[in-house]
Amino acid sequence: MQPVRGTHDLLFEDAKKHQLVIDVARAIGTRFGFDEIQTPIFEFSSVFSRTLGDTSDVVTKEMYTFTDKGGDQLSLRPEGTAGVVRSFISNELKRSLPLKFFYQGPMFRYERPQKGRFRQFHQLGIELLGVENTQSDIEVISYANILLQELDILNLTYLEINSIGDKESRQAFRTRLVEFFTKYENDLSEDSKRRLQLNPLRILDSKDKKDIEISQTAPKFEDSLNDISKSKFAEIRNGLDNLGIKYNLNPKLVRGLDYYNHLVFEFKTTALGAQDAVLSGGRYDDLVEMMGGDATFGVGWAAGIERLCLLTQKASAKPRPIALIPLGEKAEKYAILLAHQMRALGIPVEAAYAGNMSNRMKKATRVNSQFAVIIGDQELESQQLGFKNLDTGEQSKITEAELLSRFKSAHQ
């Protein structure tokens, strides 16, 4: 009995670190005014094929697609943005704009498993809908910057940004790319030959060595940007400079999905080998309309939780439990009741019911308890429980009421 290739179990410290990353991101979202959203892990396949692009690797090679018993074609979600936008449309949320959403959960892509890359992986991300001005672009990058900073990994990453302009700019660039790559068509990979007429921008995102070599002298996007696109990009750069957020310009950064326009960006790292992308995003002003809704501005990003966990050394802040050590049948019955009362008050408790006193104290130390409450016949009769500080060795007596009062306040 083995897990399916490309999947993994989250256990013990890995599970704690995974939850820690989510908790940190969620807490930052609260500061920025983001509400949490959870969308289904599968959607009608058209939700993704219409938005990610029929020529994208995600749609053509990586989606888990199946026909259900009712004959509908469904796909496990390969990313989060399309589902959030589908929810925005189907729940008729336009009147509530602007909207800020935070999400997290499992995603699915059939691809070769590598370090930090799984077939079932987890993402967290944000979407900001309904704001046209570039302050929204700057805000989502600010959120990402603070997240990486609070996970103590900002120094392991670097930010790359680019502008892929509006429709007019992209059409002008597309024409120049087709003209350029047609000269090298026989040398392109099979995927890039197919993309040449369908979506030549994707050739710039190719991982094929020959494609990369040819792309070195390809036209640059900045030379096709119109004045509106140049102005927006300049505003974003000025805003990042004002916040002290460092970035590099990467004219070949186009992102792998069809719905982006204007700003695209990635936080990358050199600490994970070939898997260098940590957090990626951009603006998608045409996406809602592409999915059948009214034109709505949008910008956001997503980050792989597994990769964030690989980078961060931040420890989970699990509270230290109080160990209950009952000695005797009466004490064990009492300890069960006391543990129930304490847990109901939010106090973490570990009960050591088996073994002699020495083994029970060892268990208390093993689970990182700071205090042990010792309960025997004498303690029950005097209603004075034994109380030991396991860090200092100091021992004293405490009543049940004093115990509940002291630790209830400490854990609320």
| pLDDT tens digits for range 270-281 | 998 777 899 999
d(CA 192, CA 203): 5
Q: Would strands 349-351 and 322-326 be described as parallel, antiparallel, or unpaired?
A: parallel
Nearest to 392 by CA among 370, 411, 410: 370
Q: Output the six-digit token pair for 372.
A: 């042990």
d(CA 243, CA 53): 34
Q: What is the pLDDT of residue 55?
A: 55
Identify whether the C-beta of residue 253 lies closer than 8 Å to the C-beta of residue 266.
yes
Contacts of 43 (CB under 8 A, 6+ apart): 74, 75, 77, 82, 83, 86
| Mean pLDDT of the region 374-381 | 94
Q: Which residue is it, tokens 């020529």?
A: 55
Given pLDDT bands bounded at 50, 70 and 90, which one contains residue 258?
low
Q: For residue range 223-247, list pLDDT tens digits in order.
A: 999 999 999 999 999 999 999 999 9
- The domain limits of the chain are 12-166+226-311, 322-410
d(CA 46, CA 81): 14
Nearest to 164 by CA among 296, 62, 262: 262
- What torsion do the CA atoms of 182, 186, 189, 192 make, to the nearest 10 degrees? 20
What CATH number is given for 12-166+226-311 in this structure? 3.30.930.10
Judged by DSSP in three states, 308 sits in: helix
The CA angle 320-326-328, to the nearest 5 degrees, is 170
Identify whether the C-beta of residue 320 lies closer than 8 Å to the C-beta of residue 370.
yes
Tell me the average pLDDT of the chain.
91
| Beta-bridge partners for 126 | 102, 301
Q: What is the pLDDT of residue 305?
A: 97
* Region for residue 320 given its phi and psi (left: phi exceeds 0; alpha: psi -120 to 50; beta: otherwise): beta
| Mean pLDDT of the region 259-272 | 92
Q: What are phi and psi of 327, to 5 degrees?
A: -125, 105
Given pLDDT bands bounded at 50, 70 and 90, which one contains residue 221?
confident
- When mean pLDDT is compared over 93-97, 163-167, 212-216, the highest value belongs to 93-97
Q: For residue range 107-118, list pLDDT tens digits in order.
A: 999 988 877 789
| Beta-bridge partners for 248 | 160
Three-state SS across 191-235? Answer: HHHHHHHHCHHHHHHCCCHHHHHHHCCCCCHHHHCCHHHHHHHHH
| Mean pLDDT of the region 172-189 | 92
| Residue 189: count of CB within 10 angstroms of its CB | 16
Identify whether the C-beta of residue 163 lies closer than 8 Å to the C-beta of residue 255.
no
> Among 145-149, 152-156, 187-191, 308-312, which is the least confidently predicted range?
187-191
Q: What is the pLDDT of residue 237?
A: 98
Given pLDDT bands bounded at 50, 70 and 90, which one contains residue 71?
very high
Q: What is the pLDDT of residue 199?
A: 80
**% of the chain residues with pLDDT over 70:** 96
- Specify the pTM: 0.88
At residue 256, does pLDDT exceed 60?
no
Buried/exposed code over 398-408 (b: 16+ C-beta within 10 A; e: otherwise): bebeebbeebe
Q: How many CA atoms lie within 13 A of 402 on its CB side?
A: 10
Judged by DSSP in three states, 35 sits in: strand
Q: What is the pLDDT of residue 257?
A: 62
Given pLDDT bands bounded at 50, 70 and 90, which one contains residue 98?
very high
d(CA 388, CA 274): 51
Q: What are phi and psi of 47, to 5 degrees?
A: -55, -40
Q: What is the pLDDT of residue 205?
A: 78
CATH class of 322-410: alpha beta
- When mean pLDDT is compared over 18-22, 62-66, 165-169, the highest value belongs to 18-22
Nearest to 118 by CA among 160, 51, 62: 62
At residue 372, does pLDDT exceed 70?
yes
At residue 411, does pLDDT exceed 90?
no
CA dist 115 to 112, 205, 272, 307, 314, Å?
A: 10, 20, 7, 8, 20
Q: How many helices (H) and strands (E) does the chain have?
A: 15, 16
> Among 98-102, 278-282, 335-339, 358-362, which is the least confidently predicted range?
358-362
Q: What is the pLDDT of residue 19?
A: 95
Q: For residue range 5-63, list pLDDT tens digits in order.
A: 999 999 988 999 999 999 999 999 999 999 999 999 999 999 988 777 665 667 667 89
- Classify the C-alpha dihedral 193-198-203-205 as positive or negative: negative
